[in-house]
Amino acid sequence: MKILLTGKNGQVGFELGRALAPLGEVCAVDQEDCDLTKESSIRELVRRVQPDVIVNPAAYTAVDRAESEPDVAHAVNAMAPRVIGEEADKLGALVIHYSTDYVFDGEKPGFYIEEDEARPQNVYGQSKREGELTLQGAATRHLILRTSWVVGAHGVNFAKTILRLAAERDRLKVVADQWGAPTSAALLADCTSHLIREWQRKGDGQFRYGLYHLVAGGETNWCDYAKFVVAEALAAGQALMLSPDAIEAIPSSNYPTAAKRPANSRLDTSKFRGTFHLSLPDWRDGVRHVLRQLWDRQ
């Protein structure tokens, strides 16, 4: 089996490189190898590789910058999935694509299910929602995995930012009215590997394509997430200036950003777990694993 992997140097792409390697030949590319803002570049790549599976974690993820760069965000997040889907359909290939909690407005009081209306509140979310729709329209064989608050040992993320700030400051203010589930890139990669194996085993007749929510178990807010990271670091003997008690909870209105964020990013994973018979660990397990990886590198 031949697998084409985009975004190989991103948080999820990096972990996918590890998780997909046992499945077959992996052709992993990044922006230098394929310009996802150019339709011709994408088509040339897919036609040259002739993959059986295309895994597409590549995305424009600069949420605030997207407000001033909507054309680039839509090219990478909406046009590219459509083109990938069109080329995959010609080959009979499976496309696995990743989307985001930001397709929702965050106003629902409970957990979002896949059938809830998508009402993105910023350019990034709009571009990702458009990417879902264009891929659904282009590729017969597709999986769209919506996730949230991705964290990994490779790349930039909230947990690593908190660790850096905790080594520099003795007080910190963090938003406490936005809720979700930190989800490790490794979990996403391992689940993706499982899905490809299931697709190979079941084939078109039995495999259930479509849109699924895939996040770690449990829920938290950014402030409590920050406190957890700092507490784990201190317990591991890391030298920090900050203690969990010195992290102050603030409303998001006190921390204005160019892009509006959803207050509720909680995603219901019942469909994913029931369809693929997988259990999803608590978010703390994934974050602990990432932190241990970071400290092992020191």
Cα–Cα distance measured from residue 277 to residue 260, given in angstroms and rounded to the nearest whole number: 35
C-beta of residue 47 within 8 angstroms of C-beta of residue 87? yes
| DSSP secondary structure letters along the chain | -EEEE--TTSHHHHHHHHHHGGGSEEEE--TTT--TT-HHHHHHHHHHH--SEEEE------TTGGGT-HHHHHIIIIIHHHHHHHHHHHHT-EEEEEEEGGGS-S--SSPBPTTSPP---SHHHHHHHHHHHHHHHH-SSEEEEEE-SEE-SSS--HHHHHHHHHTT-S-EEEE-S-EE--EEHHHHHHHHHHHHHHHHHH-TTT---EEEE---BS-EEHHHHHHHHHHHHHHTT---S--GGGEEEE-GGGS--SSPPPSB--B--HHHHHHHT----BHHHHHHHHHHHHHHT-
Would strands 247-250 and 172-175 be described as parallel, antiparallel, or unpaired? parallel
Nearest Cα neighbor of 212 from 287, 135, 280, 147 is 147
Establish whether 124 is a catalytic residue: yes
Which of the following is catalytic: 102, 124, 212, 225?
Answer: 124
Give catalytic residue positions: 124
